[in-house]
Amino acid sequence: MAFSFPRVYPILDSSFVPQANRAQFLDTLGHALADAGVTLLEYRNKAAADAEILADSEILRRALPSAKLILDDRADLVAETGFDGVHVDAGDISIAEARALLGPERIIGTFGGPADDYFMLLTGILREPADYFAIGPVFATTTKQTSKPPIGIDGVRELRFQAGPATILTAAAGITLETAPLVLAAGASTVAVAAAIFRAADPAAEFRRWRERLG
């Protein structure tokens, strides 16, 4: 995978997308994010039928032609959407199955720690054919339904120690522009942000603020 992860990238959850004028909303948003310098975006839609996911993905792909686009969960739809990869968690297909389905060039990410102990990576997980490992929630979040307790800055630091310097660790959940530098300094390779960007009055302008702050 020849791709350099940015210091920050947005996660567009379907809860931020209105049903009214949905296509126009996504088209306008996607072009604005492209103009703001988004090079990586994850689209998350856990409840919709395939038709809605495919329609949304087509618009995002067209609006962000140069960005890497990651589809949450649905490895089976990645090729059809023209997206560049998938994020799979426990309960989805395995990393190895996703890699067999998508091939060596697409990006595959997964959760980087077990559900019952955030401070011990699963034995052998770093040998799985994933390109990045998501860690979190770093702080409390309302965007993604999870029963996992926040790991905090110390948890990020501990997971970086266990993962080693070369592993891509994506930190997510509850991160703000004020706390993001601390998360990165603790060892996260990048921060993935949903609510802090997409609840802003102008998400593209907000992303630009993050990018300028974090580099």
Domain segments of the chain as ranges: 8-214
pLDDT at 94: 87
Q: Is the dihedral of CA 158, 214, 64, 4 positive or negative?
A: negative
What does each of the 215 residues of the chain score in pLDDT, given as a tens digit?
Answer: 568 999 999 999 999 999 999 999 999 999 999 999 999 999 999 989 999 999 999 999 999 999 999 999 999 999 999 999 999 987 778 888 999 999 999 999 998 755 555 555 544 566 677 899 999 899 987 666 666 789 999 999 988 988 889 899 999 999 999 999 999 999 999 999 999 999 999 999 999 999 999 98
Strands 107-111, 85-88: pairing kind: parallel
Instruction: Give the pair of three-digit tokens for residue 172.
Output: 């997510």
CA distance 191 to 109: 14
pLDDT at 128: 72
Phi, psi of 183 (to 5 degrees): -65, -45
Helix (H) or strand (E) holding 210: helix 203-214
pLDDT at 141: 75
pLDDT at 119: 54
Amino acid at residue number 153: I
Domain 8-214: give its CATH code: 3.20.20.70
